[in-house]
Structure 1
């Protein structure tokens, strides 16, 4: 789809309109010669007629007839306003359907609370829909293997671009993978809240408090299947599970704007939390083994930590907000 496709213009129409902006007024023969988009089988006369019907071209009678583009400020702005009106109507209708769906959901039988999704394409489709369905908060327990790594990253970027809060708990084994830390760092820079745990019991995706997607298999070669959980006691339990793991998980310390260790130590802290060896940490940092050892020792001394992992924990905890103080009744 071209840039003006959402306004109902075909690629041929957009190209011919752009040519007319540079050659108005012009005869049909002039446009046929000047039109770089004259693909085999194209119909300049038919395309002109379509542009005229959409208010983008005006024609002066001849002979020969001459055609001129209507100013974009007039013609295209009108199409944009019409498209916006249509989108508002579509959004209102979508909300009506959602309200009707939720009303039926409250009356549905227990067996309708859970959908069983089978097949790679169907699961990928519901995974993408879950991202789009989130309106305020998206939460995830993230562990390998991943069905569609590229699609998952793109969906996260789209979600963050919409201004939603995204909370992801990563399994430590994934953070230790080559390139994973840089990928997470990019997400954190875009606004994602990332934490890590040594192990996760399952993969889980939550859209607000309304929907959950629970993959059923972890084996890449196994049959692909997942559960979609609608509002119910089971969904509340899954939300409670995530919230509990989120509280236990440690921030990866990759946000340069957050309080805590100096920015240069942020990646080191994340690597310490992931439980990697000094040699692997050095490779991730792009420094020598001895340099990595020295930086780890300096961080441990600064934080008063006895072990590497304790240093990572203390540095990460310095980024976490203090828990609320309970007042005695």
Structure 2
């Protein structure tokens, strides 16, 4: 059995049993015993040393694992430790953890109801919460995105507080079956690398459309909350600001605003980048057409389209002219719109 590398005391690569209440070191010792049971403490220490486990912590780890029902100890001298079958031992711990998680969710729901009740009983009721400071805004930004249970709706435009964190949060939601709808502002599509990012997100399940401009930076979590990111100044973190909108007529108005703009926005019909297709020269012609159509729909200039596609300006002009000719379109934008609605992306 090949053991994953140990990252030193208290930290282990590939630690997966934290949800069952095991520390990284406890998981490492249990894995060793799964592989070599029964074993004396000296034998476990010898194997553990290769994985970065310190000998002085081993007696405590073995005692903890025994208390958790993961190992048994013989009455021999020295004692010999054996791993209990994971199907039995870990199942008990996981059921306990699931029960505790359910209780925590129920308690969180109770606290949320109390919070909402307190907010509505205030005169006037709390409708908008002001969040200031980079750390507080970023924390609320991450928390509220991950709190969506049915759908997340977004306007993508500056300011960009935590782009990598936002992408990671959306991937998690999509993996959980949450609907994510994003309206991109043209300025975002023009950013370096934006097209590939949008392709990847669409491949993960995101629904994407584009408009020339958007009125605000907005996140709508189900029909429960809205987050408006107002200001971001990297040189002055204390100046960052956001608004959290609670259930109210204002929240309903923001929801209607999103749905109205979603109807007006044009769809970005793209496929995720294929493996090994990092270079434009390795892409299939049909895929190139899809990317060109998306950029035309977004209203980018010839120069911006060439930059996003990684080709020369003259090549971009030729491809646009060829597409217009095939569609019988009189303008670049008309060509993009016609192609976007006539030709959804092919599936591989």
Q: TM-score, normalised by structure 1?
A: 0.88
Residue of 267, 270, 273 corresponding to 1:254: 270
Residues 253, 270 of structure 1: 8 Å contact kept: yes
- Secondary structure (helix, strand or coil) at the match of 2:220 reads strand
Matches of 1:35 and 1:117 in 2, distance apart? 48
- The Cα shift of 1:210 comes to 1.1
Q: 1:114 to 1:41 in 2, by over 3 A?
A: farther
C-alpha spacing 1:182/1:38, structure 2 compared with 1 (3 Å): closer
What is the aligned partner in structure 2 of residue 11 from structure 1?
Answer: 24
Report which stretch shifted further, 279-288 or 138-147.
Answer: 279-288
Equivalent residue runs for 1:19-58 within 5 Å: 19-36=32-49, 37=51, 39-40=53-54, 42-58=56-72
Q: Which residue of 2 aligns with 1:232?
A: 248
Write the distance in 2 (CA, Å) between the matches of 1:123 and 1:95: 23
- Please list every run of 5 or more consecutive structure 1 residues that lacks an aligned counterpart in the other structure: 257-261, 321-329
Bigger shift: 30-39 or 72-81? 30-39
Partner of 1:169: 183
| Residue pairs, 1:7-156, within 5 angstroms | 7-36=20-49, 37=51, 39-40=53-54, 42-110=56-124, 112-156=126-170
2:335 counterpart residue number: 311
Residues 1:275 and 2:288 aligned together? no
Give every structure 1 segment of 4 or more consecutive aligned residues whose post-TM-superposition deviation is greater than 6 Å: none
- In the other structure, the counterpart of 2:3 is none
Residue 164 of structure 1: CA displacement? 1.0
1:58-79, CA deviations, whole angstroms, 9 ceiling, x for partnerless residues?
Answer: 1111222211111112211221
Query: Contact (CA 8 Å) 1:32, 1:38: kept in 2 or not?
Result: no
The reply on whether 1:203 has 2:217 as its aligned counterpart is yes
Residue 193 of structure 2 corresponds to: 179
Query: Using the alignment, how far apart are the partners of 1:63 and 1:220 within structure 2?
Result: 64
- Equivalent residues, number: 316
Task: Find the residue that maps to 1:43 and give its secondary structure.
Answer: helix
1:39 and 1:307 map into 2 onto residues whose CA distance is 68
Q: Is the 8 A contact 1:273 1:313 kept in 2?
A: yes
Shift of 1:304: 2.4
2:270 aligned counterpart, secondary structure:
coil
Normalization by structure 2: what TM-score?
0.84
In the TM superposition, residue 105 of structure 1 has moved relative to its aligned partner by 4.2
C-alpha distance after superposition, 1:62-100 (max 9, x if no partner): 222211111112211221222122222222333333344
Once the two structures are overlaid, the 10-residue window that deviates more, 69-78 or 35-44, is 35-44
1:293 is aligned to 2:317? yes
Distance 1:133 1:62, change over 3 A: same
Secondary structure in structure 2 of the residue aligned to 1:216: strand
CA distance in 1, matches of 2:39, 2:234: 60
- Asked if the contact 2:131/2:241 (under 8 Å) is kept, the reply is yes
TM superposition shift of 1:268: 0.4
Measured after TM superposition, the shift of residue 150 of structure 1 is 1.1
For 1:132-171, what per-residue CA distance to the aligned partner results, in whole angstroms no more than 9, with x for missing partners?
A: 2211111111112311111111111112111111111111
Distance in structure 1 (CA, Å) of the matches to 2:39 and 2:235: 61
State the alpha-carbon separation in 2 of the partners of residues 24 and 220 from structure 1.
55
Bigger mean CA offset, 293-302 vs 135-144:
293-302
SS of match in other structure, 2:231: coil
* 1:30-57 deviation digits (Å, cap 9, x = unpaired): 2222223454474211111111000011
**Separation (CA, whole Å) in 1 of partners of 2:217 and 2:172:** 21
Cα distance change on mapping 1:187 and 1:85 into 2, 3 Å: same
